[in-house]
Homo-oligomer: A and B are copies of this chain.
Amino acid sequence: MKYNSKMPSPGLFSKDDTELFAAMCKALGHPARVMIINYLKKIDRCFCGDIVELLPLAQSTVSQHLKSLKQAGLIKGEVEGPKTCYCLDKPRLEKFILMVEALGRSIQP
């Protein structure tokens, strides 16, 4: 979507924050990727192969999902020999939580 001058202030987020937030949500917008995040939260760190065992998906597909999550900044991966070890990017996740709370809290239910 391209912005133009008709859009002074779309809401509570800046444009950058809107883009960032949408990108993070998009990365979480697939069950496999939600499971990966959940799994990483549970076990802290793991290799790509562990996730391939966990999910009913081909290795190449899992690798793609990991790439999406990494590009959105939600996880980090570092090469350890022939393997790659993934873990959550905790500061980034924290920022995501804060944005969700900003979006939703102080709503009177």
Which residues of B lie under 8 Å from residue A4 when comparing CB positions?
A: 56
Mark each residue of chain A from 1 to 23: 1 if its CB lies under 8 Å from any CB of chain B, else 0. 11110110011110000110111
Interface residue SS majority, chain A: helix
A37 at the interface (CB under 8 A from B): yes
Number of interface residues of A (CB under 8 A): 51
Are A18 and B3 in contact (CB-based, < 8 A)?
A: no
Give the CA-CA distance A19 to B31 in the complex, in Å: 6
Give the CA-CA distance A97 to B105 in the complex, in Å: 8
Are B31 and A12 in contact (CB-based, < 8 A)?
A: no
- Residue of B6, B25, B27, B55 near A7 (CB, 8 A) is B55
CB-CB contacts below 8 Å: A88-109 with B = 88, 90-91, 93-94, 96-97, 100-101, 103-105, 107-109
Given contacts A93-B104, A107-B93, contact A10 B25 (CB under 8 A): no
